[in-house]
Amino acid sequence: MSSLMTNTSAMTALQTLRSVTDSLATTQNRISTGYRVSTASDNAAYWSIATTMRSDVQALGAVQDALGLGAATIDTMYTGLSATVDVVSSIKAKLVAARTPGVDRAKIQSEITELQKQLKNTADSAVFNGENWISGDSSSASYNATKSVVSSFSRAGGAVKIDTLSVDLAAIKLYDANVDTAYNAQTFPTGTTTAYAAATDVGGNITVTVGSAAAVNVSIAKGSSREDVAAAINSLGIDGLTVGVGTNGTTLEFKSRNAANVVIDASVAGLGGAVTLTALAAPVTSQKGVLDGTMDAYNGTAWETFSVSSMDISKLTDNAADLAKLETYIAGTDQALAKITDSATNLGAIKNRIGLQQNFVKTLTDSLDRGIGQLVDADMNAESTRLQALQVQQQLGIQALSIANSGSQSILSLFRG
C-alpha cells in the first residue's frame, strides 16, 4: 500500500541512517582522541579505574624525582666520606712516623694540623640542596637524626602506602657541633633503696680500677661521712666519673659518660666494708661525630679524652707515658678510620639500593601505563576499518532515504489525465 501520510520505507531508511551516523560520530571521536573510553559516559567502571591509575602514575613520577634527589644527596655525602678516608689515613701515617724516637713531633704536628683542617673543610663542603649529613649540629631545633628518602608508592585495598629508605646520621656523621655533656646518674649502693645517715661508718678501702692498671686503694677512716667518701673517690681524677652526695645527704651518686662503664660491687649492702669501683677498659665514644667525638682511651694511668680533629702531639717526648699516649692516638685514629669506612660502605649500599629502586619504579610505571592503555585506548587499526565501513553505510543510507522519498513522487503520475 502506498501512502502519502506514512512513508514506511523513508522512516526505516532514516532510522538506519541515524544509527550509522551515531556510530560514525563515536568512531571519529575515538580516532581523534585515541581513547576508546575518554569520558565516564563511555564506560564508567573503566574510566574510574584508569583515572585512579593515572593518579598513581603521577605519584610514582614524584617518587622517581625523590629517588633522584636522594641519590644525588647520598652521592654527595659518600663523596665527602670517601675523601676523608685518605686524609685520616695520612694522619695515622704521620702519627706512626711520630712514634720514632728523636723525630721532631712539632713539625709533624704542623702537617697533622693542616690535615685536620682539610677534614673539617671536606665535611663542611659536602652539601647538596642545603643538606649536610656528615657535619651538623644535633642541638638544632630542626635536627633529625634520621633522614628518609621516599622510595615507593603503592595502593592496596583503597589504602595508600608510602615507603622510605632511612639513613641514620649517628652512623655516618663526622662532626657534630653539639658537645655531649649528658651523664647517667646511678645511686650507690646498687640494688638497694635504703637510706643511710650522712655519718654512717665506713671501714676498709675503696678500690678503683682504671683500665688494666693496678687497683688504686684509698683508705677511708672509720666514721667518715658520705661527703668524705665522695671527695676521696673524686680525688682519683677519673675522667668522666663524678661522685656526689644526694640531695637528701643520704645517698652517693655516681655519674659517668656511660653507666656500663662503671661497675659497683653489689655485694656491699652498706658502707661498713670494702667498696669496689671498676672503670672498664673498653673505649667509650660520645654522641658527637666520628672526627670530633670524644674517645675515652686507656693510656696506662687514667682515661684520657681526645679527638682526632684536635689532638696535638707537638709537646710529646720520648718518655714512656708520652709514647703510650701517642700509641693511644694511633689506635683512636685507626678506630675513627674504621668507622668512616663502615659509614661509606653503608652509604654505598644505600646508594646501590636507590639505583635498583629507580629502575624498578621506571618498570612499574611502564607496566601501569600499559594496563591503562589496555583499558581505555582505542585500537586504531580496528577503528580506521570501522570508519571506512560506516562511511559506506552512511552513503548507502542517504541513497536509500532518497529512494524512499522519491516513491511518493510516483503517486502523482496516477492522477495525470
- pLDDT per position as a tens digit, 285-302: 455 777 777 665 544 444
The model's pTM is: 0.63
DSSP E strands: which ranges in 232-302?
242-245, 252-256, 262-264, 275-279, 284-285, 295-298
Whole-number Å distance between alpha carbons of 55 and 365: 11
Q: How high is the pLDDT of residue 388? A: 86
Question: pLDDT digits over 29-72, tens only?
Answer: 888 877 888 888 888 888 888 888 888 888 888 888 888 898 89
Question: pLDDT digits over 220-236, tens only?
Answer: 555 566 677 777 777 76
pLDDT at 189 over 80: no
pLDDT at 175 over 80: yes
> What does the DSSP 8-state code read for residue 220?
-
Instruction: Determine the average pLDDT of the residues in 398-408.
Output: 76
Contacts of 221-224 with CB under 8 Å at 24 or more apart are: 223/199
> What's the fold here for domain 46-177+323-370?
f41 fragment of flagellin, N-terminal domain (1.20.1330)
Other C-beta atoms closer than 10 Å to the C-beta of 289 total: 26
Strand partners, 147: 167
Least confident of 34-38, 176-180, 346-350, 401-405: 176-180
Amino acid found at 7 = N
Q: Is 290 left (phi over 0), alpha (psi -120 to 50) or beta?
A: alpha
Whole-number Å distance between alpha carbons of 168 and 343: 10
> What's the fold here for domain 184-285?
Immunoglobulin-like (2.60.40)
260 vs 60, residue with greater confidence: 60
At residue 324 the predicted structure's pLDDT band, cuts being 50, 70 and 90, is confident
Preceding amide of 283 cis, omega within 30: no
Instruction: Determine the average pLDDT of the residues in 356-369.
Output: 89
Distances in whole angstroms, Cα of residue 9 to Cα of each of 13, 17, 307, 393, 401: 6, 12, 103, 17, 8
Give the start-to-end residue ranges of the domains of the chain.
8-34+378-415, 46-177+323-370, 184-285
pLDDT at 132 over 80: yes
Whole-number Å distance between alpha carbons of 296 and 335: 12
Q: Which cell numbers in the block locate residue 76?
A: 654527595
Integer-rounded Cα Rg, in Å, for the chain is 42
pLDDT at 185 over 70: no
